């Protein structure tokens, strides 16, 4: 997974996966992507960065279940509780945490949950019922996809224990395009 330079094969696979969309008309263009990055103090990881600049800024067809939201958007069922999202602050987790089941030694677990929801990631979309997919843009998990729900957060990709698919945006889309279930680890 190269998050600093777009891979031609990954971009070709992304174009193919989203071929039924608008032929690139919704793509933001490089000027808009750079403006978003400057406003939020981040550099988006590849190949997502090139995807929104050249291929599509969102998609009605998914992934996830209710479609891929645009770069500066949130799913329609997003509950922000008035909390400001800060993409420049690091995403706080490096391993799965099911806060409904596991005690962690965080001094303030509620604050960490707020950080998981609002720091260091762009929200890609929802599978409904407070199950949102995030692309981490800041911190040690930069470039990785995470499923964040109302009961916990877990990484997507090989090594997560849930799937053998490649981590990152291209692996996540390829997994969806192949019609695989999100949790297909043997």
In a domain, 140, yes or no: yes
Average pLDDT score, the chain: 91
Answer for the pair 89, 115: CB distance below 8 angstroms, yes or no. yes
List helix spans (H) across 18-92. 30-40, 48-50
**Per-residue pLDDT tens digits for 4-28:** 899 999 999 999 999 877 777 889 9
In a domain, 186, yes or no: no
In a domain, 2, yes or no: no
Whole-number Å distance between alpha carbons of 183 and 83: 30
Please count the structural domains in the chain: 1
pLDDT at 21: 73
Strand 121-126 versus strand 153-155 pairing type: unpaired
pTM: 0.94
Domain that holds residue 133: 8-177
- Tokens standing for residue 57: 């800024």
In a domain, 97, yes or no: yes
In a domain, 184, yes or no: no
* Type and span of the H or E element at 121: strand 121-126
186 confidence band (pLDDT: 50, 70, 90): low
């Amino acid at each position: 997974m190269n998050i600093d330079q777009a891979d031609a094969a990954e971009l070709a696979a992304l174009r193919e996966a989203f071929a039924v969309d608008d032929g690139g008309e919704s793509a933001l263009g490089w000027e808009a992507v750079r403006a978003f990055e400057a406003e939020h103090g981040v550099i988006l990881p590849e190949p997502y960065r090139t995807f929104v600049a050249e291929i599509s800024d969102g998609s009605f067809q998914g992934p996830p279940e209710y479609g891929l939201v645009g770069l500066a958007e949130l799913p329609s069922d997003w509950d922000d509780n008035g909390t400001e999202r800060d993409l420049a602050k690091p995403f706080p987790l490096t391993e799965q945490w099911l806060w409904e089941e596991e005690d962690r030694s965080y001094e303030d677990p509620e604050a960490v949950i707020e950080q998981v929801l609002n720091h260091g990631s762009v929200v890609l979309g929802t599978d409904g019922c407070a199950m949102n997919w995030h692309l981490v843009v800041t911190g040690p998990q930069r470039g990785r996809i995470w499923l964040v729900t109302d009961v916990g957060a877990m990484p997507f990709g090989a090594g997560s224990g849930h799937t053998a698919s490649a981590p990152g945006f291209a692996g996540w889309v390829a997994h969806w395009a192949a019609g695989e279930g999100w949790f297909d680890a043997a």
